[in-house]
Amino acid sequence: MQTGAAQLGYKYTDCNGKDPVGFCKNHVTINRGERLHTASAYIRPSMKRKNLHIALYSHVIKILISNGKAVGVEYLRNGRKATVGATREVILSAGPISSPQILIMSGIGPEKQLLDLKIPPKAILPVGEKLQDQIIFPLTFHMNETYTITPARSTSIINRLKYKLTAKGMLASNGGILGHLLLDTTNSSSANKQADIMIIMAAILSQHWESSETTERMMQNGQGNGKVTEGFTLYIQLLSPASRGNMSITSTNPFDQPIIDPQYLTEEQDIKAIIYGIRTGIKLTKTKAFKKIIPRFPPYLYKKCSGHKPNSDAYFECVIRYTAIPASNIVGTNKMGGSNDNTSVVDHQLRVKGIDKLRVVDSSIMPSHVSGDQYAPIVMMAEKASDIIKSTYRKTYKKNRLR
């Protein structure tokens, strides 16, 4: 893939650097053959700290607010309601869907929604109204070589022994992602180009078609992957969507799922960017570097798109609208902004506007998407929030209580 990208004129680059456009290897957080995540890196080493208590099997109902100040949390544990008080502040970190749900349940949100649910308003803010998510379109190719990672190959006796003895091999990998090609579909002449499409190459056959109703509903007889077992997938991921949706709640039952309306592909530029990525992906498989594996793009014929010329822009747009899948990298539902930004929920210190002693720290506060995955940015956001909070209380409390 790296050689093929170079043959298309894309350089090898650092996707996390100042000039991300080009090919880069996949960055992972793996340690000694096991996934290293925030729980293992942050929580487990702190389990014995006296100032940390984790209440398992607990479900937060709402934040308790008195006289415009967060004073605690109400939650359910083993079917019983309980409360916990906050002497300093409450930090909400329940994610881009649950965080806004909890805020609205607490009386912080759009006025009409609060009144409709008969929730006493504590602060009128556009909670849930700037939802933004990335979207992915999988391009599956068949090939003659046996490079595909399958369950049978990855769990073979040789791979199991290799993992057991060396903590390396397929079982120690991230599941077949080989690299990324980041594109600037605007063809900007700026020195600091920003990627808006990422092509992810994976040595697997996408199960998207088989795991949904796509084949039965849309494909003509005889199409689809069938019994083909050798191939790879190019995932065309829209990094910087212009489309925005919203989320809301319809009841005061904390276990009822919110209504999520992502409004995918409502902006034409999102469709154009994905089509650009599809065409670049197909060009990539036609380079000299890919000749060895003889990639074949299956002639998928979609019933719903039969009125368009195959492989035309109109045809691809139709296929994208029916078969693209969510990236589930949601941001913006508690958007951060300045004091004059009426579309924001939190300020630059991550404090909820109009409510004292309440912050939100998760992807919901991001005003818009970064040009990549959200994992590393969210970790660094938490690091920054930690610095902000410690700085706030350093003047009042002794440093040894903050370590």
Q: How many CB atoms sit inside 10 A of residue 278's CB?
A: 21
Q: What are phi and psi of 109, to 5 degrees?
A: 165, -165
**Which CATH superfamily includes the segment(s) 55-129+330-401?**
FAD/NAD(P)-binding domain (3.50.50.60)
List the beta bridge partners of residue 259: 248
pLDDT at 22: 95
CATH 3.50.50.60 segments of the chain? 55-129+330-401
List the beta bridge partners of residue 178: none
pLDDT at 223: 45
Q: In terms of residues, how long is the chain? A: 403
**Structural tokens at position 220:** 């003509």
C-alpha span between 199 and 135 (Å, rounded): 12
pLDDT at 235: 94
Cα 250 from chain centroid?
25
C-alpha span between 253 and 105 (Å, rounded): 9
Residue with tokens 């290293």, as numbered in its chain: 36
Q: For the whole prediction, is pTM greater than 0.75?
A: yes
CATH 3.30.560.10 segments of the chain? 2-37+133-326
C-alpha span between 154 and 313 (Å, rounded): 38
In 3D space, the residue among 369, 364, 361 whose CA is nearest the CA of residue 388 turns out to be 361
Following DSSP, what letter does each residue of 99-135 receive, concatenated?
HHHHHHHTTEE-HHHHHHTTPPPSEE--TTSSBB--E
C-alpha span between 99 and 177 (Å, rounded): 31
CA atoms within 13 A on the CB side of 56: 0
Tell me if the domain spanning 2-37+133-326 has CATH number 3.30.560.10. yes
In 3D space, the residue among 333, 169, 164, 188 whose CA is nearest the CA of residue 246 turns out to be 333
pLDDT at 231: 83
C-alpha span between 89 and 357 (Å, rounded): 4
Phi-psi map region of 129: left, alpha, beta (phi>0 left; psi -120 to 50 alpha): alpha
pLDDT at 326: 93
Mean pLDDT in consecutive groups of 10 residues from the start of the chain, 403 residues: 94 90 91 91 93 94 98 96 96 98 98 97 98 94 78 85 90 84 84 86 69 47 54 93 97 96 97 97 94 77 84 93 92 97 97 98 96 91 96 72 56
Q: Where are the beta strands (DSSP E) in 223-368?
A: 231-238, 246-248, 259-261, 325-326, 358-360
Cα-trace Rg, the chain: 24
C-alpha span between 196 and 130 (Å, rounded): 19
C-alpha span between 332 and 123 (Å, rounded): 18
pLDDT at 146: 75
Torsion of CA 303, 308, 309, 313, to 10 degrees: -120
Residue with tokens 């729980």, as numbered in its chain: 39
